[in-house]
A = this chain, B = another copy of it.
Amino acid sequence: MNYTEIETPAVLIDLAIVRQNITKYQKYCDDKGLHLRPHIKTHKIPELAKLQLSSGAIGITCQKVSEAEAMLSEGGVDDLLITYNIYGRPKLERLKDLSKRCHLSVVADNSVCVKGLSKVFKETDKPLRVLVECDTGALRCGVVTPEEACMLAKEINEEPGLEFGGLMTYPPVSQQSKVNDFLERAKNLIEKNNIKVDVVSIGGSPNMWEVEKIPVGTEYRIGTYIYNDRSLMERRVCSEQDCALTVLSSVVSTPTPERAVIDAGSKVLTTDLFGLSGHGHIIGYPELVISQLSEEHACITSDGPTGLSIGQKLRIIPNHACVVSNMLNEVIFVEGQKFLKTQPVVARGMVL
């Protein structure tokens, strides 16, 4: 079957491009002497996690406990980092179960979470590795000074059932020297307390080709690189040919020559603008703009006639690949024009 026979809207994943992207960035990290720990949030598919691991990744990253459970469901993953503060007995019990099935690390940025982790893990004979999450400028989670990082590292080191695992940050874009300064200073402070800092985990797709600007980093967490998307194209981090995820959509209405409506709305493309104008890049039609989304419709507008006709199929590179992965229960694996198989998105919607 040719991909054009696929019912629309559908999310297509080109496995040939996926393999290329994995191999290329693994080689880059290998050359830089940096461990690679892909974030599965982009694909949410155990089969692709295994592909990343077999190419040389040292483990995977998940954001939530339920994502980690989904990733372990099919085997083949034995090193897993959850980059999230985990709080509350039900999640901690599930975390304890997970720790029996893989080499598990988590992060924390506060004492309340550290004490919660300790309470559950002191009952086990396998300590849990906990990294300190640092806010190096992204203004999300993380301790906000190197001094706080050091205090929390000491606390983790002293709590029964826990083992200090290092430092972790979700770095802001294009502020690498600030990020490096924070992490260097935190590392030095912690080491002065005779605590080893084995891992300094950095990451992010926008600055993926500039890892040498944060020399303190020992491992790189990255998600989007496996699929790439319009936001990375616009930043010149990748080209159109590197984009493995596309949305296949059909024109369902052409009310005026200057306006066409397609059958992929926010339920596929999402409203995530990611700082861009327009809701995606239409392959072969760079002049057309996806100007307006509702749940099941997207309007395509143009200064002149769009040239589109009813029934015509379009392939769209979305602004942000990760969020599109989370919309449908299944994606379609293709290779170039060729249909391969329908693939469940195993960890879709896993938010617990």
By a beta-carbon cutoff of 8 Å, the part of chain A in contact with chain B is 7-9, 41, 63-64, 84-85, 87-88, 90-91, 109-110, 112-113, 135, 139-144, 250, 252-256, 259, 261, 263-264, 266-268, 270-273, 292, 294-297, 299, 309-311, 322-323, 326-329, 349, 351-352
How close is A8's CB to chain B, nearest CB, in angstroms?
A: 8
Is there an interface contact between A112 and B310, defined as CB atoms closer than 8 Å? Answer: yes
Q: Which of B85, B268, B270 contacts A271 (CB 8 A)?
A: B270
Is there an interface contact between A296 and B351, defined as CB atoms closer than 8 Å? Answer: yes
Is there an interface contact between B326 and A267, defined as CB atoms closer than 8 Å? Answer: yes
Of all chain B residues, the one with the shortest Cβ separation from A143 is B255
Given contacts A271-B272, A296-B84, contact A139 B252 (CB under 8 A): no
Please, how many angstroms separate the alpha-carbon atoms of A85 and B271 in the complex? 22
Please, how many angstroms separate the alpha-carbon atoms of A39 and B225 in the complex? 39
Residues of B within 8 A of A87 (CB): 250, 252, 310-311
Is there an interface contact between A140 and B294, defined as CB atoms closer than 8 Å? Answer: yes
Given contacts A144-B255, A322-B295, contact A267 B349 (CB under 8 A): yes
How close is A224's CB to chain B, nearest CB, in angstroms?
A: 12
Residues of B within 8 A of A254 (CB): 110
Is there an interface contact between B351 and A141, defined as CB atoms closer than 8 Å? Answer: no
Extra A-B contacts (6), CB below 8 Å, given A142-B253, A267-B351, A271-B272: A63-B296, A87-B310, A141-B297, A144-B255, A263-B351, A270-B271
Residues of B within 8 A of A90 (CB): 7
Is there an interface contact between A311 and B112, defined as CB atoms closer than 8 Å? Answer: yes
Please, how many angstroms separate the alpha-carbon atoms of A153 and B43 in the complex? 46
How close is A88's CB to chain B, nearest CB, in angstroms?
A: 7
Residues of B within 8 A of A297 (CB): 140-141
Residues of B within 8 A of A268 (CB): 351
Is there an interface contact between A7 and B91, defined as CB atoms closer than 8 Å? Answer: yes
**10 nearest A-B residue pairs (beta carbon):** A141-B253, A112-B310, A85-B252, A63-B296, A271-B272, A271-B271, A141-B261, A267-B351, A7-B90, A9-B351
Please, how many angstroms separate the alpha-carbon atoms of A299 and B254 in the complex? 41
How close is A339's CB to chain B, nearest CB, in angstroms?
A: 14
How close is A338's CB to chain B, nearest CB, in angstroms?
A: 19
Residues of B within 8 A of A85 (CB): 252-253, 310
How close is A219's CB to chain B, nearest CB, in angstroms?
A: 20
Given contacts A85-B252, A268-B351, A327-B349, contact A139 B296 (CB under 8 A): no
Is there an interface contact between B295 and A41, defined as CB atoms closer than 8 Å? Answer: yes
